[in-house]
Amino acid sequence: MLRSNFPKAGEQYLGGESDGWEYKTSFTGTTVKDAFIMLQNFLVDEGYENVPLPKDAKELMFFKSPPKHLQLKLFNERGYLHNPIKIFFPNGKRKENTLILCIYNEKYKKHLVRFHGLI
């Protein structure tokens, strides 16, 4: 289980890669809905079932567009963020049904400030 046994730097785990701090993988489906369902199942299987997520792919898509008012923008990335995960939408027409999942090691020193890009 990823949450209790985070991969070390250079380790590959279930198709994703880790640098010890960040584990990154992607999910591609026939639709964004399919990719999101795969991503949700992965998070449950890996011990992240208690991390709040959008209720469905339709709600997730609200996070794809940048906010209309720049002062409301907290992060530079396009996607959904809730410690310890980030879900991104890659650029490009060929990747429109792909979601990139980044999971961050909660045991890492100064995890919370690092997650929010403050150090």
pLDDT by residue (tens digit) across 1-58?
999 999 999 999 999 999 999 999 999 999 999 999 999 999 999 999 999 999 999 9
Closest by alpha carbon to 86, among 23, 2, 44?
23
Instruction: Using alpha carbons, list the distances in angstroms from residue 37 to 3, 22, 49, 61, 97.
Output: 19, 22, 13, 14, 12
Task: For 49-106, give the DSSP string.
Answer: TTS---SSHHHHGGGTSPPSSGGG---SSSEEEETTEEEE--SSGGGTTEEEEEEE-T
* Tens-digit pLDDT profile for residues 85-94: 999 998 766 6
pTM higher than the cut 0.85: yes
Is 117 in contact with 62 (CB distance < 8 Å)? no
Domain coordinates of the chain in residue numbers? 12-115
Least confident of 18-22, 60-64, 93-97, 99-103: 93-97
